[in-house]
Structure 1
Amino acid sequence: MAKACFSRWQVLVGLLLACVGAVQAAEPAPPAASGLTEARWLRAPRLYGRITANELGLVINTADPYSVTIGEYYAKRRGIPAEQILRVQLPMRASLTPEEFAVLDQTLRSHMPENVNGLALAWVQPYAVGCNSLTSALGLGLQPDLCANTCAATRTSPYTSYFGARPWLVIGLRPTMQLAARSVPAAMAMIERGIAADHRLADVVPEAAVAYLAATPDAARNVRERLFPPAGPVPGAPGFEVVRVKSDALPPMRRTLIYQTGLARVPAPLGGEWLPGALADHLTSFGGQLDRPVGEGQMNILDWIDAGATASYGTVSEPCNHLQKFPHPQRLLQAYAQGVSALEAYWHSVAWPAQGVFVGEPLAAPFAPVPMP
């Protein structure tokens, strides 16, 4: 039986944290690239705690050899408690039916202990439920009405205005990420990058790390440029800086921790030197269709994993270019720099995640404080 180990006081504190401050999740920042408003940093909410292996649930598809191998490897490398591992049988295809999803969702809810506040799915397919992504359907709830008009506004995620590390207990939401890569060796390498990232940038004199934010001539996909912060140091994160670049004039990329752009296909090679724990994504319509072959149509976000990133995000159905459906550059940088995991930073940055699939090693946390001995 699941055991809730949180006091009434902790629940009340969590509820207060969910209500304090204004993240402006559904509202984009003032246009910084238009010349009318100078780029500036938004006020960052203070985040508390971090989801670790002791609060992460792991789901393995026993019908998928990749899933079994990677799930067992991840459980061992990250030390996921046995009672937080669920083995299921799922079809190996891109999308689940609503009925198949309902069975999976209910199985998870009945199996996972109450202390599980995030989920890792150890497979590549399935990644969708109709026009919804599977990670968001499990985390936020299925939104079947969206399929009538995938360009419409979707439900705002309450996670964007929750600042603690107990979202399941407080707001009934478990942020979810897929341990997805194109092969078992690629997935193992991604996991090792996530592990190597932990606490790496938390030293008093940390390694240099760079967030490259690329403007592009693709007007429809360049809408996030208005959200870019000013170039220079990231507030409160020594050694971490923002470099604003043009996609047609990329400098040699070094010490890359964040890379965001807006193109249907990013020219290879995808960046240069990647730090462990690097996050990278591009704003386009179908980057989250994880079964899309290499080089066919729009770029698959698994290309970022192949290149050396540790996590990414993309949409599984046509979202149009709503800013709220993609990672907010400042929210992503600010959350990650506060020491939370890749899973939490990405979920904090997307206001309308219904169509977006989160992939990568969820527990990577380069800015997390070094544990006390």
Structure 2
Amino acid sequence: MSEFTAGRISRTRPYWNAVRRRIVHAMRLRPLVRLVGSLLLAACAAPAPRVAKRAPATGAERVLVVINTRSAASDSVGRYYAKRRGIDPSHIVRLALPLDDEIGDIAFQTGLVSPVRAAIEALPVRIDFIVLTTGVPIRVARKNGYSVDAMLSGMHLAIPPMVGLDSVWLSRYRNPYYNADGPFASDRYGIYLVTRLDCGRVADCLALVDRSIAARPAPGPFYFDAMPPRRGADGYATTNLLLYRAAFRLGQRGVGVQIDTTSGFVAPPAAVMGYVSWGSNDSRFDSTAYHQVRFLPGALAETFVSTSARTFGPVKGGQSRIVDLIAQGVTGVKGYVSEPFTLALANPDILFDRYVRGATLAESFYAASYMVLWKDLVIGDPLCAPYAMFQEPSFAP
């Protein structure tokens, strides 16, 4: 059985009819079950793409851009990105969405998912990447809800919203592109790779696009601020170990890499091509050092922080955020709109391996991310691929 088929967990029509009957009965019981039931019915009814598409001839043809017409910033960023990447107007969707971090379930389905799906169906070419622009909501339904980006990415997956973290649920929510070792195509994997151009200021978003265009295949440095190693198989120990593995693998490829294993939180001494730290979850976190991190064009980053993408607007206090890294010059970074647990964090061992082998920004982050329909979002131009000129055969077009 292929990875994609296993990820979808195909079921027969009688199975889903039985599920619907159980949901209708449960909807009479309590509001929470009614909410989950309505989302499941929508997921079961969501049609998969049926019309064969021609393969995109250029990177620009792989992209669909979504602009919020109620946001001048969204319009500016979307138009600028489309111009810089040569994206045809037919690949731009303009929607009137709430000017808020959150969007309700019904508004999400009718105001975002349905028109995006219709736009994709209307195009003769296969769409692989969806780019959301600043001003598009980041969270669905409630304060600790799901990521808009993640839910849009998996809009064709006929699986219910997660309500548990046992092995059965985790197998259902395994990203079909996780740990993939070749280029992405939506008709093969059944999802879209959704990224966004979001920031604290429009100027930061435009600079984000410029850095993607200017990115070159620098030999490093890559900088990982690990916590001191400790024994155990908990989420902390396992995730921390991945930093050591990532450093070892990059070193084997001849890439410049530095891993800090001291108990302090230290900024790298020079601009980097890759960065990972525990952010404010580091017991010795230093906000000044965090804001001193600088990046080369094309640099990617991940921070192991639960709410690093909870908002891109002004805040007081709380955990460290990725919006600061965007202002400091990163080109791509992953964040979380609410508690994702360590299992959802981008695996740096996969992330940077794929990137330096020629994968795009979007392919690298999604290959490194285990979950679908969850709390994640990825910042950056999905087409950014500074190492593409050195592609290994597995990532050749």
Q: TM-score range by the shorter chain?
A: 0.7 to 0.9
Task: Note closer, same or farther for the CA distance 1:150–1:309 as it changes in structure 2 (3 Å cut).
Answer: farther
Query: Offset of 1:255 from its aligned partner?
Result: 4.1
Task: Note closer, same or farther for the CA distance 1:237–1:80 as it changes in structure 2 (3 Å cut).
Answer: farther
Distance in 1 (CA, whole Å) between partners of 2:92 and 2:81 is 11
> Are residues 1:133 and 2:147 paired?
yes
Query: Offset of 1:370 from its aligned partner?
Result: 7.6
Query: Offset of 1:90 from its aligned partner?
Result: 0.4
1:315 is aligned to: 336
1:64 is aligned to: 71
Distance in 2 (CA, whole Å) between partners of 1:298 and 1:167 is 35
Note if contact 1:290-1:301 (Cα within 8 Å) is conserved in structure 2.
no
Task: Note closer, same or farther for the CA distance 1:125–1:161 as it changes in structure 2 (3 Å cut).
Answer: same
> Are residues 1:115 and 2:122 paired?
no
Note if contact 1:140-1:157 (Cα within 8 Å) is conserved in structure 2.
no
Identity within the alignment, %:
26
> Are residues 1:358 and 2:378 paired?
yes
Note if contact 2:267-2:289 (Cα within 8 Å) is conserved in structure 1.
no
> Are residues 1:172 and 2:194 paired?
no
2:302 is aligned to: 281
Distance in 2 (CA, whole Å) between partners of 1:124 and 1:268 is 28
Task: Note closer, same or farther for the CA distance 1:368–1:294 as it changes in structure 2 (3 Å cut).
Answer: farther
Q: Deviations over 1:253-311 (max 9, x none)?
A: 32411111113265234354411011112112211212453452111211110111111
1:83 is aligned to: 90
What 5-or-longer segments of structure 2 have no aligned partner? 6-55, 392-397
Tell me which amino acid in the other structure corresponds to 1:136.
Answer: A
Q: Deviations over 1:323-348 (max 9, x none)?
A: x2000011101110111111111111
Distance in 2 (CA, whole Å) between partners of 1:237 and 1:57 is 34
Distance in 2 (CA, whole Å) between partners of 1:51 and 1:346 is 21
1:290 is aligned to: 311
Pairing of 1:29-108 with structure 2 (within 5 A): 52-103=59-110, 104-108=112-116
Paired residue secondary structure (2:288): coil
1:304 is aligned to: 325
Tell me which amino acid in the other structure corresponds to 1:248.
Answer: G
TM-score by length of 2: 0.72
Task: Note closer, same or farther for the CA distance 1:250–1:259 as it changes in structure 2 (3 Å cut).
Answer: same
> Are residues 1:216 and 2:232 paired?
no
> Are residues 1:188 and 2:189 paired?
no
Q: Deviations over 1:6-62 (max 9, x none)?
A: xxxxxxxxx97969xxxxxxxxxxxxxxxxxxxxxxxxxxxxx99822211111111
2:35 is aligned to: none
Distance in 2 (CA, whole Å) between partners of 1:291 and 1:272 is 19
Higher-Rg member (1/2): 2
Distance in 1 (CA, whole Å) between partners of 2:57 and 2:318 is 37
Distance in 2 (CA, whole Å) between partners of 1:287 and 1:178 is 15
Note if contact 2:294-2:330 (Cα within 8 Å) is conserved in structure 1.
no
Distance in 2 (CA, whole Å) between partners of 1:50 and 1:273 is 35
Query: Offset of 1:194 from its aligned partner?
Result: 0.8
Higher normalized helix content (fraction of residues) = 2
Q: How many residues align?
A: 319
1:227 to 242, 246, 254: 242
Distance in 1 (CA, whole Å) between partners of 2:178 and 2:57 is 15
Distance in 2 (CA, whole Å) between partners of 1:365 and 1:217 is 32
Note if contact 1:91-1:126 (Cα within 8 Å) is conserved in structure 2.
yes
**RMSD (Å), alpha carbons:** 3.2
1:31 is aligned to: none
Query: Offset of 1:250 from its aligned partner?
Result: 2.8
